[in-house]
Amino acid sequence: MTEFRPSRFEILPTIIKNLLIINVLFFLAQKTFTGPSAIFSFEDSLALHAWQSPLFRPWQLITHMFLHGDFGHIFGNMFALWMFGAVLENLWGSKRFLIFYIICGLGAALIHLLFLSYEFIPLMKEYQEAISLHANNGISEQAFIKITTYYNAMINTATLGASGAVFGVLAAFIYLFPNTYIYIYFLFPVKAKWIGLLYFGYELFFALQNSAGDNVARWAHIGGAIVGLLIVMTWNKTNKKSFY
C-alpha cells in the first residue's frame, strides 16, 4: 500500500474533529485571557518549559500540544492534522490513532527537552560564575540584575504547539503512502516521499545550525517524526514496503 485510495472515507473522523475543536477552544481562551491583568497565564502553566525552569510541570508534556502562538501557527498545524491525520484515523480507527498522536507528542516533547538541557549547560555554567563573581563583588549589582533577567528569560522560555505530534502524523502518512501525490499550493503534484525527505532535511539542517533568533522547536519536529515513523514501522513490520 504505497498510494492512498479512499474507500468509505470519513472526511472528519471523531478524534480529528475533537482535536480540532479542543485546539481552537484553547486558542480562543489564550487570546481572550491574556495580558498583565489576566489572573491565569496559559503559557506559564500549560506550555512546555525546560526541566531546569521553576515553571516546569509534568502535565505540560501533554498540555503544550493544545496551545499555539498565533493564527498562522494553529492553522498550519490543524490543516496538516486534518489532511494527513484523517487518513490515518480512517485506516487505524479512533482509539489507535489517538494513542499514536499522544505518543508522538510526548516523544517530541521529551526529545526537545533533552536537547534543550544540553543547550542550557553553558548558560547555566556562566550564570553560576556570575553568581560567584557577584558574591565576591566582581561585578556590579546593575550588571548582575541584567544577567539574571537574561538568564530567567532563556530558562523560562515556553514551547507550545501541536507540531511535534503533527510531524509524527506526517511521517506515518509518508511511510504508508509514499507515492501519493500532494499538491503544493494546490497546483504542483509531488509524491509524499519526496516532500517528506525534503522537509525532514530542512528541519535537521536548521536544528544543527542552532541559529540565534530561531524560535522554532526544530528538535521537537524531528523527534515527533522519528517517534511516529518508529511506531508505524513497528505496527507494520510484517508488511514489505517499497518506496519505488
Mean pLDDT across the chain, nearest whole number? 86
Q: How many helices (H) and strands (E) does the chain have?
A: 9, 2
194 pLDDT tier (thresholds 50, 70, 90): confident
Interval 66-91 mean pLDDT: 93
This prediction's pTM: 0.86
Answer positive or negative: Cα dihedral of 29, 34, 39, 42. Answer: positive
Q: And the C-alpha cell for 49?
A: 518549559
- Nearest one of 86, 121, 108, 79 to 14, comparing CA atoms: 86
Kindly report, residue by residue over 1-18, the tens digit of the pLDDT: 555 455 456 889 999 999
C-alpha separations of 58 from 76, 105, 228, 230 in Å: 27, 14, 22, 24
**pLDDT at res. 63:** 96
Furthest C-alpha separation in the chain: 74
Q: Which is higher by pLDDT, 7 or 178?
A: 178
Interval 163-171 mean pLDDT: 94
- CATH class belonging to 14-32+40-120+158-234: mainly alpha
Q: Above 90 in pLDDT, residue 187?
A: no
Kindly report, residue by residue over 80-128, the tens digit of the pLDDT: 999 999 999 999 999 999 999 999 999 999 999 998 898 899 999 999 9
Residue spans of the domains in the chain: they are 14-32+40-120+158-234
Q: Above 90 in pLDDT, residue 213?
A: no
AA letter at 64? H
Helix (H) / strand (E) containing 181: strand 181-184
